[in-house]
Amino acid sequence: MGFSLCPQPLNSSFIHHRFRPSIPLGFYRTKVSCPRAMQQGEETENAGKVSVPHVLTVAGSDSGAGAGIQADLKACAARGVYCSTVVTAVTAQNTVGVQGVNIVTEDSVRMQLTSVLSDMHPDVVKTGMLPSPGIVKILCESLKEFQVRALVVDPVMVSTSGDVLAGPLILSSLREDLLPLADVVTPNLREASVLLGCAPLKTIADMRFAAKSIHDFGPRNVLVKGGDLPASSDAVDVLFDGKEFHEFCSARIRTSNTHGTGCTLASSIAAELAREGGATIVQLREKDLDTGDFLEAARTCLKICRAHNVPFLINDRVDIALACGADGVHIGQSDMPARVARALLGPDKIIGVSCKTPEQAERAWTDGADYIGCGGVYPTNTKENNVSVGLDGLRKVCLASKLPVVAIGGIGVSNVGAVVGPGLPNLRGVAVVSAIFDRECVSSETRNLMKVILDSMDGAK
């Protein structure tokens, strides 16, 4: 079996936008025991070792349980994610407004953060109400000390009911200290205008301007929520990832029951980030199963991928890809030519081709491939008699290719920085096999690899 992680879309028809635009592409393989044998109760080496996704919410308490940490707890539970809490304020709230706010002491916030982060190691931190600059500072110090993987910032300054929950004193702390650490920031219209010190946002063009301007403070992604947009019959949210705008539009639900909607959205995003290891494309690579069992495994994997909006490819077997409805195939130099695969699969499927030379890369382009897998970059035990091309061979293919390139072969945490760090043109990610599945916890190892990749890419800028 195999999966892939991807920084930029290889085919926009199938690669849906996700909240991490800089994720690399990779492949891995397991033995047949996943998924069929696991369904039959086969014991595995790591049976009983369960990694539970974990979100830490740093926010205020809502006595009415519609917003704040109470909303976060419910949203995370609905997604099968464990949620721990750090309470920053105790509020008196109900369905019509906020009647009182009592700020928790900075020492208490620091103690809560240290207790959870030092022992429970949450995957993602989500912030809500941060009522003082001192609390923002303590949070930023803790995030840096304990190296949390992802941060979702809901800049709660104005509640859905219109009550002010945080004053102007924290604005500079948010802009200068917290937002540069964030992976996703989710302001509503009023919060976006407060962050920018600008006039109220009234149009989608205003939302785009605000998203781009807030992105300049340093977060990876900005989602401006347009539920209160006065001139729109639909609910429109605008996401800016540093390169592109994405609009999420749905029919507006006519209701006054909107208390806590922002908290619920931000914690849902955090929960989804916590659930995933980072894969954005999955490839099933299997050499030993007969066709019937291979097809069964492919259908099982496809169902999982569909649930997470992750494109699913089949290695080599175009017939299996057609039979299960996969999003495409990855083929080698000795397999069916890409032009024939394209004729069979149609124009909208993803086709990747393994290449070792610029000449092979040019032929892949001519034959209609969508991306190139170049390698093995390093020696690998997942393919017999595979000649390594080394970093120099990868560089030559990247320079010559007209297609996105994925580095394949022998890549792991120890050497991935040397692959992605130089910032080679057209290199869109790496392929991983044993670097993931030879480890105790697949998801956590994927996240570890992802962090090294992103750090290396940031260092190359």
- pLDDT of 185-221, one tens digit each? 999 999 999 999 999 999 999 999 999 999 999 999 9
For residue 4, pLDDT beyond 80: no
In this prediction, residue 232 carries a pLDDT of: 74
Q: Where are the domains of the chain?
A: 54-275, 279-460
Give which of 114, 126, 128 is closest to 151, Cα–Cα: 126
CA angle 261, 267, 270 (to 5 degrees): 145
In this prediction, residue 252 carries a pLDDT of: 86
Give which of 314, 255, 247 is closest to 95, Cα–Cα: 255
Joined together, the tokens standing for residue 139 give 């949070």
In this prediction, residue 161 carries a pLDDT of: 57
CATH class of 279-460: alpha beta
pLDDT band, residue 21 (cuts 50/70/90): very low
Answer whether 54-275 and 279-460 agree in fold.
no
DSSP class of residue 164 equals: B
pLDDT band, residue 27 (cuts 50/70/90): very low
**CATH architecture of structural domain 54-275:** 3-Layer(aba) Sandwich (3.40)
pLDDT band, residue 24 (cuts 50/70/90): very low
Instruction: Name the more confident of 9 and 296.
Output: 296
Residue 131 and residue 151: Cα distance in Å, rounded?
A: 18
In this prediction, residue 16 carries a pLDDT of: 30
DSSP class of residue 410 equals: S
Give which of 231, 218, 151 is closest to 189, Cα–Cα: 231
The residues annotated with a catalytic role in the active site are 225, 258, 260-263
Give which of 73, 92, 93 is closest to 82, Cα–Cα: 73
In this prediction, residue 263 carries a pLDDT of: 95
List pLDDT tens digits, range 144-155. 999 888 999 999
For residue 382, pLDDT beyond 90: no
Residue 165 and residue 162: Cα distance in Å, rounded?
A: 9
Give the mean model confidence (pLDDT) for residues 159-180: 78
Joined together, the tokens standing for residue 373 give 């897998």
List pLDDT tens digits, range 117-148. 999 989 899 999 999 999 999 999 999 999 88
Confirm if 431 and 4 have CB atoms less than 8 A apart.
Answer: yes
**Number of Cβ within a 10 Å radius of residue 107:** 10
List pLDDT tens digits, range 306-357. 866 678 999 999 999 999 999 999 999 999 999 999 999 999 999 999 999 9
* Assessment of whether the complete model's pTM goes beyond 0.85: no
In this prediction, residue 398 carries a pLDDT of: 97
